């Protein structure tokens, strides 16, 4: 009887390795783990002022409360308080002043969460208010910045603007977004022998958590281990901001000598942790009668909150994506990084890129509306060229420009022209319901813009039964990184994927790692694991060659066997043989992304290994009497190169799109005049529900290969699809424009909540009334 042929794992649409566990509840998150004996639960008391001197902080009553084992304030720290990830500015506990509403004042560890929380509110806190800056406009007026303003420049924007036949100016406000990972921030710290510390942390960046925990405990990095099996979502929110949670738990564990768990409830999580940066984009654009941009001056200003956190890189990426797919010959992009008395904003899927892209998409859409052209025609007219007009404002050549072809393909498959005509017909005969559509492209740069971070390591063990244990520095947050890297390893060894054991990320196995971020998890860790597998394979091949006689390079690993000419052994038998021959079956692998160089001072170079592309067409229907709307149909064509796993990638595209749609439609963050977040629970903060997913939702992956020799010629997919949702925002603009028969451009900021849509409709009607009154009077 012949065995069924074992198919290669790479490119197969395998399910997520934890899919069944995810849906059955068997997947273990930190809060699901069996609790260690003597476990204490921590609670953080948050500040109730945006900016104030702490006149008095009395915690004696907290310490004396029932069940309390320890209280720690800034005064009780054994070593450092500052845990800024890149630059100083982020404190474990407020020291003398509070700088935003929700800042951590102190933490308490008690026998239960309830006791810890009850105790925390027994503290006496007196504040003396200081003036607070809460929004971007005020920060701009006061020149309040966390980092120096940056300018990216090419050509002469001012001269081109002055010469251009047409010119328009405007402003777009773009809202922030809460990560709303299903699993909130959580850590469990467990003291080990000799003062060492093990920290289980829901983090995208175990090495940084290890480093910062060591720093606040006054230990060397080598005495701290950070481990994470999986996160229930990260989305950038656990890149730097898992650290304060882990540090707080570790401090209390060190103080008490007992394990401590700290899990934020949803409200505290939303108040205490940073979000996507909200932005203001001011544009001044000059263009010709065909809609081609001649010159543009863009001002981007973001609300960074109180500290730099990752705001430098986030705002740099916003600048680098303010071209999207469009060639900007004469361009000046100015980026202000505003310091405000609000929580420090952080990484969020797209990392500033989405905000930069929103700015330029607004510009091309406005140009189209001014000229009375189809917005898609204006978009196409400004696309990067294939051979000329292909240099980005930061001087990286767009080498694999698939956008014109990809957009043409989608235009055809989504039936753009016919559907546009149908919407116009519908609108002509529908006084209150209006339909709109938009097709928008995405180009997203892949790599960390901080070149040094583009590295990864892996550790592989082959056991004598032929099973393989895989570890690498990447973390699993639902995105399917672990299965993709396992697929790579299975194919290198020619073994069944079931023989590859996926293990938790730990700083003990692979040290000094970068965060799993910038969508490059599978690019980096896939290559590192491949390198480790190839090292072991070459040893095994030498073994086989000396056993049978022949050349190691002729040894083939396939279908669970190792072959040389007509001789063969099972992979397990060869592993056993190698072990008996005293050959090591364990190896590390390392990878660094080639070709990268970037000067962050001049904003020039090649920050990205390559670009990922996509395009989406969205169709909406709005009710102009209420502002309510429905997303009716979405068609997406996305470029993942030669996909490592089309099932996972499809999930990333769908999920990314829906998350982006939430950002631009229903997810609205509100702060009151005192700087208090008023939307800190699902009751007031509306993420998309299943019913918000369009009833007609078609996603296709474009056939293709990465031009660069990335892992199996695949492309990163984690973040880029989020920006496909910009099409929803523009479809809404299109539907609103229909109210004025496309003669006026709608005034609409993001998120386009029903309220904003209604106001935009009413504003348009009013302007229309004024125009017709003027015409009648003339
Ligand atoms: N998908 C799921 N299910 N959960 C997540 O938290 N994070 C996104 C994206 N997709 C995320 C996700 C973000 S912000 C990034 S940077 C990438 O996944 C990180 O993983 P990767 O580099 O392996 O794609
Ligand atoms: Mo993703 S924002 O790079 O974690």
Average pLDDT estimate for 252-258? 98
Average pLDDT estimate for 659-667? 98
Average pLDDT estimate for 422-442? 98
d(CA 753, CA 759): 10
User: Is residue 2 over pLDDT 60?
Assistant: no
- Cβ(234) to ligand 1 under 6 A? yes
C-alpha 479 to ligand 1 mean position (Å): 5
Res 3: pLDDT: 55
pLDDT tens readout for residues 163-192: 999 999 999 999 999 999 999 999 999 999
pLDDT tens readout for residues 59-114: 999 999 999 999 999 999 999 999 999 999 999 999 999 999 999 999 999 999 99
Pocket-testing residue among 177, 231, 233, 239, ligand 2, by greatest number of atoms within 8 A of Cβ: 239
User: Is residue 144 over pLDDT 60?
Assistant: yes
What ligand 2 atom has the least distance to the C-alpha of 719? 1
Which residues neighbour 301 within 8 Å (Cβ) at sequence distance 6 or greater?
136, 139, 140, 279, 280, 281, 282, 335, 336, 338
Res 6: pLDDT: 82
- Cβ(521) to ligand 2 under 6 A? no
DSSP state of 670: -
Distance in angstroms between the alpha carbons of the first and the last residue of the chain: 92
For residue 705, count other CB atoms closer than 10 A to its CB. Answer: 14
Query: What ligand is nearest to the CA atom of residue 472?
Result: 1
What's phi and psi for 30, nearest 5 deg? Answer: -55, -40
Q: Let me know: does 370 contact 579? Beta carbons within 8 Å.
A: no
C-alpha 582 to ligand 2 mean position (Å): 43
| Per-residue pLDDT band at 138 (split at 50, 70, 90) | very high
C-alpha 31 to ligand 1 mean position (Å): 21
Pocket-testing residue among 517, 521, 659, ligand 2, by greatest number of atoms within 8 A of Cβ: 517
Q: Write out the two tokens for 747.
A: 């005034």
Q: Calculate what percentage of the chain has a pLDDT beyond 70.
A: 99
Pocket-testing residue among 349, 354, 481, 717, ligand 2, by greatest number of atoms within 8 A of Cβ: 349
C-alpha 16 to ligand 1 mean position (Å): 14
CA separation (Å) from 451 to 402, 447, 606, 607, 615?
Answer: 25, 8, 10, 7, 28
Query: What ligand is nearest to the CA atom of residue 485?
Result: 1
- Cβ(719) to ligand 1 under 6 A? yes
What ligand 1 atom has the least distance to the C-alpha of 716? 24
d(CA 682, CA 221): 38
3-state secondary structure of 236: coil
Query: What ligand is nearest to the CA atom of residue 523?
Result: 1
In this structure, the residue with its CA closest to atom 4 of ligand 2 is 236
- Cβ(518) to ligand 2 under 6 A? yes
- Cβ(351) to ligand 2 under 6 A? yes
Average pLDDT estimate for 394-422? 97
Q: Write out the two tokens for 13.
A: 């649409």
- Cβ(92) to ligand 1 under 6 A? no
User: Is residue 777 over pLDDT 90?
Assistant: no
In this structure, the residue with its CA closest to atom 16 of ligand 1 is 517
Instruction: Using alpha carbons only, give the angle 313, 615, 709 rounded to the nearest 5 degrees.
Output: 65
What ligand 2 atom has the least distance to the C-alpha of 347? 2
Pocket-testing residue among 235, 472, 714, 715, ligand 1, by greatest number of atoms within 8 A of Cβ: 235
Average per-residue pLDDT in the chain?
97
pLDDT tens readout for residues 591-640: 999 999 999 999 999 999 999 999 999 999 999 999 999 999 999 999 99
Average pLDDT estimate for 429-452? 97
What's phi and psi for 11, nearest 5 deg? Answer: 80, -5
d(CA 373, CA 396): 30
- Cβ(612) to ligand 1 under 6 A? no
Q: What is the dihedral of CA 114, 117, 122, 125, to 10 degrees?
A: -170
Average pLDDT estimate for 473-484? 98
Res 774: pLDDT: 76
Whether the link from the prior residue into 751 is cis, omega within 30° of 0, is: yes
Annotation marks residue 719 as catalytic: yes
What ligand 2 atom has the least distance to the C-alpha of 236? 4
pLDDT tens readout for residues 681-701: 999 999 999 999 999 999 999
Q: Calculate what percentage of the chain has a pLDDT beyond 90.
A: 98
Average pLDDT estimate for 447-456? 97
C-alpha 303 to ligand 1 mean position (Å): 23
Average pLDDT estimate for 566-575? 97
Query: What ligand is nearest to the CA atom of residue 476?
Result: 1
pLDDT tens readout for residues 315-351: 999 999 999 999 999 999 999 999 999 999 999 999 9
Which residues neighbour 478 within 8 Å (Cβ) at sequence distance 6 or greater?
16, 22, 230, 231, 232, 233
484 HSE (CA, 13 A, CB side): 32
What ligand 1 atom has the least distance to the C-alpha of 474? 23
What ligand 1 atom has the least distance to the C-alpha of 233? 6
What's phi and psi for 14, nearest 5 deg? Answer: -70, 145
d(CA 397, CA 389): 9
CA separation (Å) from 467 to 14, 195, 472, 535, 545?
Answer: 19, 35, 17, 16, 22
Q: Let me know how many helices (H) and strands (E) the chain has, helices first.
A: 19, 29
Query: What ligand is nearest to the CA atom of residue 313?
Result: 2
Q: Per the residue annotation, which of 619, 719, 762, 766 is the catalytic one?
A: 719
Res 1: pLDDT: 45
CA separation (Å) from 609 to 11, 328, 384?
Answer: 22, 21, 18
């Amino acid at each position: 009887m012949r065995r069924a042929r074992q198919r290669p794992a790479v490119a197969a649409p395998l399910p997520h390795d934890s899919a069944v566990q995810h849906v059955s509840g068997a997947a273990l998150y930190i809060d699901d783990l069996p609790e260690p004996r003597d476990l204490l639960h921590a609670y953080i008391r948050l500040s109730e002022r945006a900016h104030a001197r702490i006149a008095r902080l009395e915690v004696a009553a907290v310490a004396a409360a029932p069940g309390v084992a320890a209280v720690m304030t800034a005064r009780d720290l054994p070593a450092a308080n500052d845990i800024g990830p890149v630059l100083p500015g982020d404190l474990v506990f407020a020291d003398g002043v509070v700088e935003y509403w929700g800042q951590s004042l102190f933490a308490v560890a008690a026998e239960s969460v309830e006791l810890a929380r009850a105790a925390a509110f027994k503290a006496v806190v007196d504040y003396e208010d200081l003036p607070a800056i809460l929004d971007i406009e005020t920060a701009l007026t006061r020149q309040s910045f966390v980092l120096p303003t940056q300018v990216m420049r090419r050509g002469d924007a001012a001269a081109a603007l002055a010469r251009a036949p047409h010119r328009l100016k405007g402003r777009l406000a773009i809202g922030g977004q809460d990560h709303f990972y299903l699993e909130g921030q959580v850590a469990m710290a467990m003291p080990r022998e000799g003062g060492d510390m093990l920290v289980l942390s829901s983090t995208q960046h175990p090495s940084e958590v290890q480093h910062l925990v060591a720093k606040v405990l006054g230990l060397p990095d080598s005495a701290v281990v950070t481990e994470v099996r999986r996160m229930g979502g990260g989305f950038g929110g656990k890149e730097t901001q898992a650290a304060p949670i882990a540090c707080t738990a570790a401090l209390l564990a060190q103080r008490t000598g007992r394990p401590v768990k700290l899990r934020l409830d949803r409200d505290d999580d939303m108040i205490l942790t940073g979000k996507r940066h909200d932005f203001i984009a001011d544009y001044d654009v000059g263009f010709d009668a065909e809609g081609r941009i001649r010159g543009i001056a863009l001002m981007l200003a973001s609300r960074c909150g109180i500290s730099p956190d990752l705001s430098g890189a986030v705002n740099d990426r916003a600048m680098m994506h303010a071209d999207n797919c469009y060639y900007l010959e004469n361009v000046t992009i100015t980026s202000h990084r505003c310091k405000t008395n609000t929580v420090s904003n952080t990484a969020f899927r797209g990392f500033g890129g989405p905000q930069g892209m929103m700015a330029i998409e607004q510009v091309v859409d406005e140009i189209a509306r001014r000229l009375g052209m189809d917005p898609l025609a204006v978009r196409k007219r400004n696309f990067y060229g294939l051979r000329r007009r292909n240099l980005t404002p930061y001087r990286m050549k767009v080498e694999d420009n698939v956008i014109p072809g990809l957009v043409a393909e989608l235009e055809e498959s989504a039936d753009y022209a016919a559907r546009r005509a149908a919407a116009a017909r519908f609108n002509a005969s529908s006084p209150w319901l209006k339909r709109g559509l938009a097709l928008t492209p995405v180009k997203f740069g892949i790599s960390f813009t901080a070149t040094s971070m583009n590295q990864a390591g892996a550790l592989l063990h082959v056991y004598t039964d032929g099973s393989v244990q895989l570890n690498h520095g990447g973390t699993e947050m639902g995105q399917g990184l672990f299965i993709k890297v396992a697929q790579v390893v299975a194919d290198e060894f020619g073994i069944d994927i079931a023989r590859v054991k996926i293990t938790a990320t730990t700083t003990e196995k692979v040290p000094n790692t970068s965060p799993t971020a910038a969508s490059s998890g599978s690019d980096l860790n896939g290559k590192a694991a491949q390198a480790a597998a190839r090292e072991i394979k070459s040893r095994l091949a030498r073994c086989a060659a000396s056993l049978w006689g022949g050349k190691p390079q002729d040894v083939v690993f396939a279908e669970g066997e190792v072959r040389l000419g007509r001789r063969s052994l099972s992979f397990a038998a060869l592993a056993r043989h190698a072990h008996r021959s005293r050959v090591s079956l364990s190896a590390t692998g390392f990878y660094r992304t080639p070709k990268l160089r970037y000067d962050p001072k001049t904003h020039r170079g090649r920050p990205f290994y390559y670009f990922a592309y996509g395009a989406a067409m969205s169709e909406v229907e709005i009710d102009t009497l209420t502002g309510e709307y429905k997303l009716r149909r979405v068609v997406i064509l996305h470029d993942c190169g030669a996909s490592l796993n089309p099932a996972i990638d499809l999930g990333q595209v769908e999920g990314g799109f829906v998350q982006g749609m939430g950002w631009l439609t229903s997810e609205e963050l509100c702060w009151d005049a005192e700087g208090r977040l008023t939307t800190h629970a699902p009751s007031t903060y509306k993420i998309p529900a299943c019913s918000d997913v369009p009833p007609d939702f078609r996603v296709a992956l474009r056939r293709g290969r990465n031009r660069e020799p990335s892992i199996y010629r695949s492309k990163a997919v984690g973040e880029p699809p989020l920006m496909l949702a910009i099409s929803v925002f523009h479809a809404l603009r299109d539907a609103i424009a229909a109210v004025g028969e496309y003669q006026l451009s709608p005034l609409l900021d993001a998120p386009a909540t029903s309220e904003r849509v209604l106001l935009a409709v009413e504003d348009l009607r009013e302007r229309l009334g004024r125009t017709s009154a003027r015409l009648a009077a003339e």
